[in-house]
Amino acid sequence: MDSENRLEKLLSASSILHDSLELSVLLKRIMELLSDSMASEKGAIYLIDTETGEFALGMAAGAEGALRIEKRAGAAQAAGAGVPVLIEDATKDPRWKEEGSNAKSVLCVPLKYGDRILGLAEVVNKIDGTPYTNEDLKFFQGLTNICAAAILNSTKFTALELENRRLKSEVSPAIPLIGNAPSMIKIFSQIKKAAATDALVLVTGESGTGKEVVAKSLHMLSSRNKHPFLPVNCGALPETLLESELFGHEKGAFTGADKARAGIFEEANGGTVFLDEIGETTPATQVKLLRVLQEGKVKRLGSNKEIPFNARIIAATNRSLETMVEEKKIREDLYYRLNVLRILLPPLRKRREDIPVLADYFLKKATSKLGRSIEGFSSAVFRTFADYPWKGNVRELENAVEASVAMADGPYIEITDLPESFQDYKPSGFDGASLSGMNYKDASDLFEKSYFKSLLELTNGDTSLAAEKAGVSEKSVQRRKSEFGL
């Protein structure tokens, strides 16, 4: 790359790096930038974990990106001590001891901000096969210096955000909303935006995807966070009791109403009312609810007096409201009233990159609750988790981790510690040995089914996009879709 081109890269680096404060997004961008600028096959960024002082993988690019840092002790140590390292031929260099690696030429430099070392960055093998040079090393260090400043900014910002969350959670303990998947990052921003308004929000998504957590986070981020968050499960109560819970009642309004009682809209008193399973309400309750939402006033059961209330409303459902409108189970006018700001939570199987972070989070939670010390999951467990269908979404993952913590007696959670559904589960991974037991047609069907299933999941069922990604005609995607019932 000529010097003009390099200058351009440096300039573009400072602009892309400074518009992202979210650490995971930033690291991804840095990795892209480094791989692109250094024309490398592979690369990785390691950050120093401030608690343990050790390097932890921050981001990797290329097939073997996540190689173990301890195995390449020499290069890492030098860079960790602040010395940039150029390895021209890794096969002969004692500083590089990575068995089974096809590394040839390596650059490994500290991520430095002033005197402070935040971590290290490395790129492995130039795409054109030539070794990296001293010139490359200088340029790489210059580039990573810019990156280090952006990383520091972002970690400060993240720490501040965490601190804010901690302070807020002291007011009312909220469950943190975990996730790095692009779809979740979009949801965080939707939550932030919605929290700044007082508009009604409808949260939809399959069971266990985190609708209640989203509703709570929204409340905690809003200016109403000093006031109560009051959930009502509209599916759990018979009509009269639900209405009394929502709107309150006067003494004698129905059998058993021996005292007057305020409903949840009144009780919220500046807070948030969370109408969970809104799709389960009866038509009569829906009419009343619609009036309440439109007028901001409630009538207690057995009274004609209209009482104004001050509550933000969040509703949730795991059913398709559109289908319910078609089936006349939800009034159309209520549907339009609810469907203003919508947050749609994707199922866990469509954001599999969140599984490891969620699993770790639930592991920490369960070990501290049960007073156990378990270091992590075996790689077989992670492989199974990565492939498992997760019909019960995040809740299923949380339950599985908690159950396995109770079962485990080693330092790592093993497959045998997991609940039964995982014992019988066969990941759809293929290898020659397992496939060679089948005839060719069955083996290729198995592969095609799995391939097109993942592809269609990735493209949300869009056959034309799936065809484009696979490099085949849309017709052939459609054929597999119907053949395999995808």
Ligand X SMILES: Nc1ncnc2c1ncn2[C@@H]1O[C@H](COP(=O)(O)OP(=O)(O)OP(=O)(O)O)[C@@H](O)[C@H]1O
Q: Is 210 in the site for ligand X (CB under 6 A)?
A: yes
In the complex, what is the shortest distance from the CB of residue 132 to ligand X, in angstroms, rounded to a whole number?
41
Stretch that binds ligand X, among 75-83, 126-134, 170-178, 280-288 (CB under 6 A): 170-178
How many residues at the interface with ligand X, by CB under 6 A? Answer: 16
13 touching ligand X, by CB under 6 A: no
486 and 453 Cβ atoms separated by less than 8 Å = yes
- Which of ligand X, Mg ion, none sits in contact with 179, Cβ below 5 to 8 A by type? ligand X
Residue nearest to Mg ion (CB): 212
Long-range contacts, stretch 58-66, CB < 8 angstroms, 24+ apart: 58/27, 58/119, 59/24, 59/27, 59/28, 59/30, 59/31, 60/31, 61/31, 61/32, 61/34, 61/35, 62/35, 62/124, 64/101, 64/102, 64/124
Q: Which of 16, 175, 287, 465 touches ligand X by CB under 6 A?
A: 175
Structural contact between residues 121 and 111, judged by C-beta atoms closer than 8 angstroms: yes
211-221 vs 182-195: helix crossing angle, rounded to 10: 40
347 touches ligand X (CB under 6 A): no
Q: Which two tokens stand for residue 253?
A: 């309004």
Closer Cβ to ligand X, 175 or 465, answer by number: 175
CB of 181 to ligand X, least distance (A): 10
Q: Which is nearer to ligand X, 250 or 353 (CB)?
A: 353
Out of Mg ion, ligand X, none, what residue 303 binds, judged by CB under 5 to 8 A for its kind, is none
The pair of structure tokens assigned to 426 is 């066969």
Work out which of 183, 207, 428, 454 binds ligand X, going by CB under 6 A: 207
Does 24 participate in binding ligand X (rule CB under 6 A)? no
Q: Are strands 116-126 and 201-204 parallel, antiparallel or unpaired?
A: unpaired
Summarize as ranges the residues that interact with Mg ion (CB under 5 A): 211-212
The residue among 469, 471, 466 whose CA lies nearest residue 481 is 466
- What are the b/e assignments for 133-172, b being 16+ CB within 10 Å? eeebbebbbebbbbbbbbbebbbeeeeeeeeebeebeeee
| Residue 260 binds to ligand X (criterion: CB under 6 A) | no
Structure tokens at 201: 């929000």
Select from ligand X, Mg ion, none the partner in contact with residue 205, using the beta carbon and a kind-dependent cut-off of 5 to 8 Å.
Answer: ligand X
Which of 80, 208, 248, 347 forms a contact with ligand X (CB under 6 A)?
A: 208
Q: 3-state SS of the chain: helix, strand, coil percent to 5?
A: 50, 15, 35
Of 139 and 362, the one with the shorter C-beta distance to Mg ion is 362
179 belongs to the binding site for ligand X (CB under 6 A): yes
| 10 touches ligand X by CB under 6 A | no
Exactly one of 185, 213, 260, 443 binds ligand X (CB under 6 A); that residue is: 213
Q: Which is nearer to ligand X, 25 or 177 (CB)?
A: 177
- Decide if residue 269 touches ligand X (CB under 6 A): no
Instruction: Point out which span in 30-38, 56-64, 209-217, 296-304 binds ligand X (CB under 6 A).
Output: 209-217
Using the rule CB under 6 A, give the single segment among 76-84, 122-130, 134-142, 172-180 that binds ligand X: 172-180
Query: 383-412: which residues touch ligand X (CB under 6 A)?
Result: 394-395, 398
Q: Is 204 in the site for ligand X (CB under 6 A)?
A: no
Q: Is 279 in the site for ligand X (CB under 6 A)?
A: no
Of 211 and 351, CB closest to Mg ion: 211
CA–CA distance, 358 with 396 (Å, rounded to integer): 11
In whole angstroms, the minimum distance from the beta carbon of 329 to ligand X comes to 17
Which conformational region is residue 208 in: left (phi greater than 0), alpha (psi within -120 to 50 degrees), or beta? Answer: left
Would you count residue 357 as binding ligand X (CB under 6 A)? no
Cα angle, residue 427 at apex, residues 424 and 428 outer, rounded to 5°: 130
Rounded to the nearest whole angstrom, what is the least distance from the CB of residue 362 to ligand X in the complex? 8
DSSP 382-425: HHHHHH---TTHHHHHHHHHHHHHHH--SSEE-GGGS-HHHHS-
What residues have CB less than 8 Å from 427, skipping those under 6 apart? 383, 384, 386, 387, 388
Interface with ligand X by CB under 6 A: which residues?
175, 177-179, 205, 207-213, 318, 394-395, 398
